Amino acid sequence: MTKRLDGRKNDELRPMKVELGVVKSADGSCYLEWGNNTVIATVHGPRPIFPKHLANSEKAVVDYRYRMAPFSVGERKSPVPAKRDKEISLVSGFSLESAIQVEKFPNTVIDIDTVILSSNAGTRAAAITAASLACADAGLPMNGIVSAVASGRANGEFILDLTKEEEDAEDAVDTAIGVLMPQKEIVLLQMDGFVKKEDWKKMISIGLKGAEKVYDFQKNALLKKYPVDGDINE
Amino acid sequence: MVILMSSINSVDLVNSKEILESIKLGKRKDGRDLLEYRNLEIKTGFLPSADGSSWVKLGNTEIIAGIKFVVGTPYPDSPDKGSMSLNLELSGLSSPNFITGPPQIDAVEFGRVADRAIRHANIINFEDLAIVPGEKVFIAFIDCIAVNADGNLIDATQLAAITALMNAKIPKLDENYNIILKEYTDKDISMNLKNIPVSITFDKVADKIILDSNQVEELASSARFSLGIVGDTVTSCHKTKGGVFSEEEINFMIDTAVGKYAEFSKIILDSRK
Amino acid sequence: MNEKKIVVPGDFLTSEIKKLGSNVYINNNKIYSSVIGILSESPEYISVIALNGAYTPSAGDGLICVVKQEAATGYVLEFNSPTDTYLPKSTLRRKLDVGTVIFARIANISDNDSIELDNINILPVGTIYSTSCVKVPRIIGKNESMLNILKENTQSNIVVGKNGWIWFSSKNPKLLVRALDLVVKNSQKSNLTNSVKEFLEKNKTK
C-alpha cells in the first residue's frame, strides 16, 4: 500500500480544528479548518419567512447557501454564484432538512449560510459538517447530526478525504457522502468517476466509516463548548 | 430566495433610542469615551488559498480580507500601471439583517469608501505591478467578507484590506505570463511605507461626535463622515446619511482624525511580517 | 452529587418506558435527545434541558415584545420567536409607535397557534438584552435569587420576558451586560448564583 502524498493512511482524515459560536449575531455558528479547507457556517432561525407566499404551512423551509469566497481557490473566482454553487446549496439543504425537526416550525425559514474561505477538495462535505454543528449550536431540534466526508479512489487505492491533488489523479473517483448519525442514514450522495459495482460498494462502506470519524469529532466539539466543571468563563 | 434590502433588527432599534440620553451626557453603553475605538485584533496570513489574507476584529465587527492577483490588461490612461479592486460582501453570514444576494447599497458604499482611503494614499507603487507595459499588469483583487457586523464596517474593512496587502506575496508567472498556482516570488507588493493610509469614521449621535460606532449607535446616528488620512494629509472624505455637519464640526473631525493617525499607522505597519 | 450529563442531538438516552418531557423523541421504543442540553432523568420521566434554542409560546408566559409594524386594525409584534404575533388595536387604550416595548402575558393560544395577549404594559425607554429563552430560568434563579443579585449590584430595573428578551434600565449598564453574558455562557455550571455574586462584588467599583 503506497503512502499518500501527505503521509496519511488510506482511511485517515486530514486534521480538523473547530470553534463554535464565532459569529455572535447568529443563532448558531461554526468555524472549521479541515486540512486546507476553511469554512464558516451560520444559522439564523427559525424566523419569519418573506415573502409570505414562500411559506410552508407544515414545516420550516430550510434555505441553505453554499458560497466560495473569491480568494478561496487557485484562480480568483467571481463573487457571482455559479451553477455548481447553486446545485451544492440545493442538495446540501436537503441533507440538513432530513436532520432538523422542521415540522415543529411551520411558516418559518431556517437560513443556513456557509462560506468557503479556502478550498482543497471536499468543500461541500466540510460545509455540511460545519453547518450541522452550527444547527446543533443554535439549539435546533434535530434527529441527529449530519456528518459528511469524501470517499473515493486515486492511484489504485480506495481512500478517504481526498485532497485536490488526489482528485486530479487519472483514475480518480470522488464521492461526497453525508450521513445522519447515529442512525447511519445516507442523506447526501454525489459522485463523479468510473467505478465497477463491487468497488462502488467498497467505497460507500469506507465512506460510512469515515462519516463515523467525522461524527466523533463533531460530538467532541459540541461537548467541549459546555464544560460542566471548572470556574466560570467570561 | 427574494433579495431584500437589509432590514433593521427590532432590538437594535429599541436600544438605539435608549442611548440618546447617555450620549448627550458623553457616556457610551460599553463605557468608552466618545472618541475611543473598541478593542482591535488583527490576524494575517491564515488562508492557504489566498495570496494575502487578514482577519480584523474591531469590537464585535469582524471582516476577513483575501487578496488574489490576476493578470489583466491595464487601463488605457495608465498603460504601465497595475491596479487594485476592493469589494465588500455583506451577507446573511454576518448579521440577521442581511440576506445573501447581489451587493446591496450598504456593501457598495462601505467597500468604495474603504477603497478610496487606500487608493488615494499613493501607498502602492502600481508601476511595479506592471508585467509587460501596455499589455499585461497585475490587478490586486481585495475581496472582503463581513463575518460579524456590529458597526463601523468602513474602518474595519479598510484595516482588513490594508493589512492583507501588507502581507501579500506576488505569484510567479510562467513564460506565457500565466500565474503558476501556489508558487510565489519572495517579493511583497512594492509600497511607500511613509504613506500608510488610515480610515477614520465619525458618527453624529444626539449632536455629539463619536468614533467607531457600534450597530446600535449607527442606527441612532444622523450623519456620518469618513476620512482617509496619511500623516497630516487628507486623501479622501465621504459624508453620508441625511443629517448635517457644521464647518466647526468638520474641522474638529479632521483634527481628531489626524490625531489618531500615529496609533493606527503603527498597528498597520506592525502587521507586516 | 448528581453528575451533569451533556447530550447532543441523536444521543441514545434509554429504552425504558418513561414519560417524554421536552427535547426528546422516541423511535422504535428507544428515546433520544433532540438538542444539545443537560439530561434530566427520573424513574418515570425523561427530558433534556436545552442549552440554546428558539422560544415556543406557552399560555401564562410573560413576554417582552417590540412593535415592528402598524397595520390598519392592529400591530405586528416581534418577540424573539420564530413567528411574529398580531395585537388588535381594540385591546388597547392608546396608540403605539413602531419600536415601543411592551410587557404582556399570554392569555390564550388558539387552535391555529395565534396568541392572545393581556395585561399589556408599555415600558419606558430602556435597553433590551437578547438571549435564548432557555437561559431565562438561570437569569431569574431559584426564588429570583439571581435576578435580585443582578438588580442590587448594578442598581438596575429589570423586567424578564420568558421569551429571552430582558428589558432593563440601569445605572451600570456595562456591568449588568457583562454579568448577563456570564450567566448565559456558563448556564450549564453549578453554583452559578454565587459565582456571579462574587464577580459583581469584585467588579462593582470599576
CATH number of domain containing C190: 3.30.1370.10
Q: Is the pLDDT of residue B226 over 70?
A: yes
C57 lies in some domain: no
Q: Which of these three, C122, C143, C158, is where a domain ends?
A: C122
Q: Is the pLDDT of residue A11 over 70?
A: yes
Question: Which residues of chain B are within 8 Å of residue A24 when distances are taken between CB atoms?
Answer: 60, 148, 150
* Mean per-residue pLDDT of chain B: 91
Put simply, whether C199 touches A (Cβ < 8 Å) is yes
Instruction: Considering only residues B95 and C40, tell me which one the structure prediction assigns the higher pLDDT.
Output: C40
Residue spans of the domains in chain B: they are 33-270
Q: Is the pLDDT of residue A154 over 80?
A: yes
Q: CA B18 to CA A231: how far, in whole Å?
A: 34
Question: What cell numbers appear for B255 in the block?
Answer: 483634527
Which chains have at least 3 CB atom pairs separated by less than 8 Å from chain C?
Answer: A, B
Q: Is the pLDDT of residue B3 over 50?
A: no
Of A46, A139, A229, the CB nearest to C52: A139
In the numeric block, the cell 453549578 is attached to C190
Task: State the pLDDT confidence band at B7, using cuts at 50, 70 and 90.
Answer: low
Taking the CA of residue A10 and the nearest CA in chain C, the distance in Å comes to 29
C191 lies in some domain: yes
- Cβ of B15 and C127 within 8 Å? yes
**pTM across the whole model:** 0.94
Q: CA B72 to CA B82: how far, in whole Å?
A: 8
Interface test with C, best of A111, A226, A229 (most C CBs within 10 A): A226
Put simply, whether B241 touches C (Cβ < 8 Å) is no
Taking the CA of residue C170 and the nearest CA in chain A, the distance in Å comes to 21
Q: Is the pLDDT of residue B4 over 50?
A: no
Q: Which of these three, C82, C106, C122, is where a domain ends?
A: C122
Instruction: Report, as an integer, the average pLDDT of B225-242.
Output: 95
Q: Is the pLDDT of residue B101 over 90?
A: no
Write down the pLDDT at residue A232. 81
If you count them, how many residues does chain B have? 273
- Cβ of B87 and A76 within 8 Å? no
Q: CA B60 to CA C30: how far, in whole Å?
A: 43
Q: What is the pLDDT of residues B110-136, one digit of tens each?
A: 999 999 999 889 899 999 999 999 999
Give the helix/strand (H/E) hosting B237: strand B233-240
Residues C115 and C72 in one domain: yes
Bridge partners (DSSP) listed for residue C130: C165
Q: What is the pLDDT of residues A51-73, one digit of tens each?
A: 889 999 999 999 999 999 999 99
Residues C141 and C185 in one domain: yes
Write down the pLDDT at residue B5. 39
Question: Which residues of chain C are within 8 Å of residue B219 when distances are taken between CB atoms?
Answer: none
Task: State the pLDDT confidence band at B203, using cuts at 50, 70 and 90.
Answer: very high
Question: What cell numbers appear for A8 in the block?
Answer: 496519511
Q: How many helices (H) and strands (E) does chain C have?
A: 4, 15
ipTM of the complex: 0.92
Residues C136 and C192 in one domain: yes
Give the total number of structural domains in chain C. Answer: 3
Write down the pLDDT at residue B8. 74
Question: What cell numbers appear for A35 in the block?
Answer: 486540512
Of C12, C52, C84, the CB nearest to A137: C52
Share of chain B above pLDDT 90, in %: 81
Of A74, A79, A117, the CB nearest to B87: A79
Of A25, A50, A117, the CB nearest to B149: A25
Bridge partners (DSSP) listed for residue B86: B142
Put simply, whether A138 touches C (Cβ < 8 Å) is yes
Residue C100 is part of which domain span? 62-122
Q: Which of these three, C122, C143, C173, is where a domain ends?
A: C122
- Cβ of C35 and A141 within 8 Å? yes
Residues C71 and C95 in one domain: yes
C106 lies in some domain: yes
Write down the pLDDT at residue B9. 83
- Cβ of C8 and A145 within 8 Å? yes
Instruction: Considering only residues A230 and B56, tell me which one the structure prediction assigns the higher pLDDT.
Output: B56
Positions in chain C whose pLDDT score sits under 70: 1-2, 206
Q: Encode burial over C137-168: b for 16+ CB neighbours within 10 A, e otherwise.
A: ebbbbeeeebbebbbebbebebbbbbbbbbbb
Residues C68 and C117 in one domain: yes
Residues C144 and C164 in one domain: yes
Residues C198 and C134 in one domain: yes
Write down the pLDDT at residue C1. 45
Of A65, A76, A111, the CB nearest to B70: A76
Q: Is the pLDDT of residue B90 over 70?
A: yes
Note if the bond before A46 is cis, omega within 30 degrees.
Answer: yes
Residues C151 and C196 in one domain: yes
Q: What is the pLDDT of residues A161-201, one digit of tens each?
A: 999 999 999 999 999 999 999 999 999 999 988 899 999 99
Q: Is the pLDDT of residue B1 over 80?
A: no
E runs forming strands in chain A:
16-20, 28-34, 37-48, 61-68, 108-118, 145-154, 157-160, 173-181, 185-192
Q: CA A150 to CA A64: how far, in whole Å?
A: 20
C55 lies in some domain: no
Task: State the pLDDT confidence band at A1, using cuts at 50, 70 and 90.
Answer: low
Q: Could you tell me the end-to-end alpha-carbon distance of chain C, in angstroms, rounded to an integer?
A: 37
Please name each of the domains of chain A with its CATH number. Answer: 16-223 (3.30.230.70)
The dihedral over CA atoms of A52, A54, A57, A61, expressed in degrees to the nearest 10, equals: -120
Q: Are A164 and A150 in contact (CB under 8 A)?
A: no
Write down the pLDDT at residue C68. 92
Put simply, whether A186 touches C (Cβ < 8 Å) is no
Within the 106-165 window of chain A, which residues sit less than 8 Å (CB to CB) from chain B? Answer: 111, 113, 115, 117-120
Write down the pLDDT at residue C206. 55
CATH code that applies to domain B33-270: 3.30.230.70
Torsion sign over Cα B256, B261, B262, B266: positive
Interface test with B, best of C64, C65, C66 (most B CBs within 10 A): C66
